[in-house]
Amino acid sequence: MSTAKIKGEKVDMPNSLRENINKNLGSIFIIFMCIIIILFINLQIKVNNLGMQAEKYIENVNLKNEEIINKVENLSRQTEKYIESINLQNEKIANRVEDLSNEVKKYSQVRIGRDQFTEIYMQLQELTGMISNEVKREFYITKAVKDISKNNSTLDSKSIYEISKTIYEEAVKYNFNPLLITAIIKTESNYDPKAVSDSYAYGLCQVRRFIAPELAENIGIKWDGAEKTLFDPIKNIKIGVYYLSMLNRNFNDIKTAIIAYNQGPYNVQGQLTNNKELPDNYLNKVLDYYANLRGFSLEEAQNEIKATN
């Protein structure tokens, strides 16, 4: 009996082991599958995150590209406007050059003075960019020196040159033709630095005493009284040309400014307000001398002054 039992147990043991192994293998498989599923889920999450990051990156790139495109379009529009502006300026210069060329041709057919031809030639060269500032400077200073020497023999050569140089520098500073300032000084004082009028206007530019201190202060000139300040030809010219520039800015018309320089701005403004015609005797005297200095006729000088407004 006992022997049979032992033999029976030996036979049953392999089946039990096999069952245990099968159970363990099933658990391992389930665990393995769970790990695979977890890894797959994690991988899917990472893929989704990368996809979202890629979408954001692409969106940012698109926004930057859009900004670049907008900037390029703005620059393109600005470039077009700049080119259009340059073309308009070139057209104006071309028209002016053509007018002057025609004028030169017209005068080449008749006998004209040397000064007149030189003036036309200077303008043509200036517009075509073929003349230097130094050449223009010497041309206008020399013209002023000759005219002052001819009309005032009491001044020494050094004083005449300093006056002429100051006329040029102050005229250029306020965008006036130096010969126009020369003509005003000739008309006002005949180049006499010590001239005094009945209305207490002093010096070369005949600046009135009651407005001179404020004008001097505006341009940084120390006021030492009417005689010390306004009899100084350099200071007088600086104050006078500055005053003319103020009048030109206020009236926005150089002819009216010249009349106001002589008659006073309040007087001129009153006449304009009452629709009265401004007297042009003084203006014509200045323009006539200006035309003479440039070798032009009075009509040509008036047309040129009108064109510069």
- Output the pLDDT for position 285: 95
Minimum mean pLDDT range among 23-32, 102-111, 121-130: 121-130
Minimum mean pLDDT range among 26-30, 35-39, 236-240, 294-298: 26-30
Alpha helices in 109-156 (DSSP H): 114-127, 133-151
Over 70: is that where the pLDDT of 257 sits?
yes
Provide long-range contacts, Cβ within 8 A and 24+ apart, for 189-197.
190/151, 190/152, 191/147, 191/148, 191/151, 191/152, 191/155, 191/163, 192/152, 193/155, 193/159, 193/163, 193/231, 193/232, 193/233, 193/236, 194/231
- Output the pLDDT for position 69: 86
Over 60: is that where the pLDDT of 7 sits?
no
Q: What is the pLDDT of residues 113-127, one digit of tens each?
A: 666 666 666 666 555
- Output the pLDDT for position 265: 95
Over 80: is that where the pLDDT of 138 sits?
yes
pTM comes to 0.60
Mean pLDDT of the chain: 84
